[in-house]
């Protein structure tokens, strides 16, 4: 789907992230409709909350990877040479987001969030990469892709390295499509495993603007 980011609007009056300083929460309320979510992603913030009302967040430090910066450990390379698992794309999105939520003790993936990202999936904005052992789903991740920016939401694994295999497949797919910015939003184990690093909000938004042109 095409998107003219400069003209993209929402019915809510979100302030610019420049008002935040060292704070994270930009605003409270609104909804999780498609236009609201896409506006948020293209303007540097995202929903992140455990209970309503919705909190819209832009951390002062953002965890990212730029194009071509991925690091793959020697142990993972050895594992990948031996792995017999298969990777699929967009065949089990609902299962991936459900497992990402239920396998965490503390999760922001509420039923409302599941429904919202399923809407994004059905309209072509959200995607999942799934790792299968035979016909058993054993790992995966999902995120949002807009122009040359990928916003990675969550990952899970039921077998060692299964989530990492899904990530590698995602990265290879999107790298070949010209994606320039991989946004992990906040520090996570999978981000650190592949060389993710933090930049300031200001630097992140420069990268974001470039990736959305």
CATH code (residue 83): 3.40.630.70
Domain C-terminal end among 27, 43, 59: 59
pLDDT band at 144 (very low <50, low <70, confident <90, very high): very high
Find tokens 């008002």 and name the residue. 19
Instruction: Tell me the average pLDDT across 33-42.
Output: 95
The Cα 162–Cα 159 span in angstroms is 6
Q: What share of the chain is helix, strand, coil (3-state, %, to 5)?
A: 35, 25, 40
β pairing state of 181-185 and 136-146: unpaired
Please check whether residues 46 and 101 belong to one and the same domain.
no
Instruction: Tell me the average pLDDT across 11-18.
Output: 92
Provide the number of structural domains found in the chain. Answer: 2
pLDDT value at 64 more than 80: yes
pTM for the complete prediction? 0.92
β pairing state of 149-157 and 181-185: parallel
Please check whether residues 178 and 126 belong to one and the same domain.
yes
Angle at 155 between CA 153 and CA 161, to 5 degrees: 150
- Write the pLDDT tens digit of every residue in 153-207: 999 999 999 999 999 999 999 999 999 999 999 999 999 999 999 999 999 999 9
Please check whether residues 14 and 99 belong to one and the same domain.
no
Please check whether residues 169 and 127 belong to one and the same domain.
yes
pLDDT value at 33 more than 70: yes
pLDDT (0 to 100) of residue 8: 65
pLDDT (0 to 100) of residue 50: 87
Instruction: Tell me the average pLDDT across 120-138.
Output: 97
pLDDT value at 147 more than 90: yes
The answer, yes or no, to whether the previous bond of 53 is cis (omega within 30 of 0) is yes
In the chain, pLDDT over 70 holds for what percent of residues?
Answer: 95
Angle at 88 between CA 67 and CA 196, to 5 degrees: 30
CATH of the domain at 37: 3.30.70.3550
Domain C-terminal end among 39, 59, 79: 59
Count of C-beta atoms within a 10 Å radius of residue 69: 12
pLDDT value at 35 more than 80: yes
pLDDT band at 1 (very low <50, low <70, confident <90, very high): very low
Please check whether residues 79 and 49 belong to one and the same domain.
no
pLDDT (0 to 100) of residue 107: 72
Please check whether residues 165 and 76 belong to one and the same domain.
yes
pLDDT value at 23 more than 90: yes
Please check whether residues 85 and 173 belong to one and the same domain.
yes
Please check whether residues 28 and 73 belong to one and the same domain.
no
Please check whether residues 93 and 144 belong to one and the same domain.
yes
Q: 37 lies in which domain range? A: 5-59
Please check whether residues 100 and 136 belong to one and the same domain.
yes
Please check whether residues 152 and 113 belong to one and the same domain.
yes
Please check whether residues 107 and 202 belong to one and the same domain.
yes
């Amino acid at each position: 789907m095409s998107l003219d980011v400069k003209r993209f609007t929402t019915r809510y009056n979100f302030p610019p992230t420049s008002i935040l300083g060292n704070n994270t929460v930009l605003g409270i309320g609104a909804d999780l409709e498609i236009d609201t979510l896409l506006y948020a992603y293209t303007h540097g913030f995202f929903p992140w909350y455990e209970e309503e009302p919705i909190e819209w967040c832009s951390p002062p430090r953002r965890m990212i990877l730029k194009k071509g910066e991925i690091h793959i450990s020697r142990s993972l390379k050895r594992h990948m040479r031996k792995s017999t698992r298969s990777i699929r794309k967009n065949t089990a999105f609902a299962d991936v987001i459900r497992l990402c939520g239920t396998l965490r003790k503390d999760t922001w993936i509420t039923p409302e969030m599941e429904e919202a990202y399923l809407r994004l999936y059905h309209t072509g904005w959200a995607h999942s990469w799934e790792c299968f052992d035979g016909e058993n789903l054993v790992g995966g991740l999902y995120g949002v892709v807009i122009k040359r920016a990928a916003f990675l939401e969550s990952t899970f694994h039921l077998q060692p390295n299964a989530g990492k295999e899904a990530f590698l497949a995602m990265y290879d797919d999107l790298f070949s499509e010209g994606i320039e910015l991989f946004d992990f939003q906040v520090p996570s184990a999978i981000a650190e495993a592949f060389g993710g690093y933090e930049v300031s909000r200001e630097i992140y938004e420069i990268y974001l603007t470039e990736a959305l042109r």
